[in-house]
Amino acid sequence: MLCRGRWIVEFPRMRAYAWYFIRRLGQFLLVVFVGINVVFIVTHATPIDPVEQAISSATQFGQSDPRAVEIMRKALRELYGLNGTIWEQYVTFWRRLVTGDFGPSLSAFPTPVSALIAQALPWTAGLLSTSTLIAWGAGNLLGGLAGYYRKNRLLKGIGIAATGLQPIPSYIMSLVVLILFGYLWPILPISGGFQMNISPELNIRFLSSVVTHSILPVLSLVLITIGAWFVGMRSLVSNIVTEDYVVYAELAGVDRRRILGSYIMRNALLPQLTGLALSLGAIFNGAVITEFVFGYPGLGTLLVRGVNSGDYSLVLGIASISIVAVAAAVFVIDLLYPLLDPRVKIE
């Protein structure tokens, strides 16, 4: 009997959560669908044919046999999935994405593009998640404190610094960090993901090398994003402080730390989490650019290398995978949201 009673209470809540899950899944699929279509339009509506481009760069040094060129043209068309009508190409395009098979890379022949991306993806994911966790966590904590203790000198100083840091784009920030710690005060490695003469095994030496090489990229990324979280949280908290329930809690003598933690910050975290989901695309851009500046072996460096070596499949593969990866990360954050906001379950 008891079990049945609980079931009745739990059931509508579960159903609300399932409904929320389905809606977010729909949004995830929409992002992937629209993003991949944008990629398809970019690659197919532009007047330049990647096949002809590859051929002209291959034949620019000296005369080639026209028959050989014809064979090459055919092979490249097949390789790039540019055979048949536009609709057939569209279907091929999706089939390749779903199976994760973008064909072999032209610059690192015959390694498949998917293998190159699989090698680079963990580096980007690690860099992105570490720096985002640090920046979002520290930015919100400090911003919350600054909104609550408005008279504190130190927090005011941090506020001014955060306002100055906020508008600087990732490339400029990475360059400044690189110049500071690469040329003026060279204490940390400025290039690569780990030391060259260490074999990538799971031991202390390798891991510590990975950590020291990641400090500057992570530092740049944290400096780029922390300002926005700080300023956003500060203004949210300073608005919530004037709410009646906070004033009441203060009058009732609730511990101030508890007011800040569970009365104010928890409410202010919700829009900040939504903000994180919405800005993930921009944060990803920043990470990709920072990787390029520091020669970090992630997607960004691979992307630039792909462009410079004229590797169509690689560039296309990275653009498509980036869209899916960012959409998936947003989806994960969306699924975490109900843990913080119990109202989602009842809605």
Partner 1 sequence: MLRVFRDLFRYNREFAIGTILVLIVLSLAVASFFSPYPPQDSYVVPPDVPPCWAYPLGTNSRGQDVFWQLTVAMRNSLLFGIAVAFLSRIISLVIGLVSGYAGGVVDRVLMSINDTFVVLPLFPILTLFYFMMHDHMSWTLLALAMASLGWPYDARLIRSVALSLRNREFTTQSVFSGMSTSQILLGEHLPYALPIVISTTINNINWSIGLEVTLSVIGFTNIETPTIGTMIYWANQHTAMVAGIWWWVLAPVATVIMAFIGLFLLSVSINEFIDPRSRLARMGA
Using CB under 8 A, list all residues that contact partner 1: 27, 30-31, 34-35, 38-39, 42-43, 46-48, 50, 53, 163-164, 166-172, 175-176, 179, 183, 235, 238-239, 277-278, 280-282, 284-285, 288-289, 292, 299, 303-304, 306-307, 312, 315-316, 318-319, 322-323, 326-327, 330
C-alpha distances in Å from residue 40, one per residue of 76, 83, 153, 288, 320: 18, 14, 53, 21, 10
CB 187 to partner 1: min, Å? 17
**Contact predicate 163/318, CB 8 Å:** no
The region that residue 185 occupies, defined by phi over 0 for left and psi between -120 and 50 for alpha, beta otherwise, is beta
The residue among 27, 64, 229, 62 whose CA lies nearest residue 147 is 229
| Smaller CB separation from partner 1, 47 or 253 | 47
| Smaller CB separation from partner 1, 181 or 194 | 181
Q: Quick one: DSSP state of residue 310?
A: T
The residue among 175, 331, 147 whose CA lies nearest residue 235 is 147
| Smaller CB separation from partner 1, 304 or 344 | 304
CB 39 to partner 1: min, Å? 6
Distance CA 272, CA 208 (A): 33
Distance CA 307, CA 314 (A): 8
| Smaller CB separation from partner 1, 190 or 210 | 190
| Smaller CB separation from partner 1, 139 or 209 | 139
CB 243 to partner 1: min, Å? 12
Q: Is 112 helix (H, G, I), strand (E, B) or coil?
A: strand
| Smaller CB separation from partner 1, 213 or 305 | 305
| Smaller CB separation from partner 1, 49 or 101 | 49
Distance CA 267, CA 164 (A): 27
CB 324 to partner 1: min, Å? 10
CB 50 to partner 1: min, Å? 7
CB 99 to partner 1: min, Å? 20
Distance CA 77, CA 74 (A): 5
CB 34 to partner 1: min, Å? 5
Q: Is 79 helix (H, G, I), strand (E, B) or coil?
A: helix
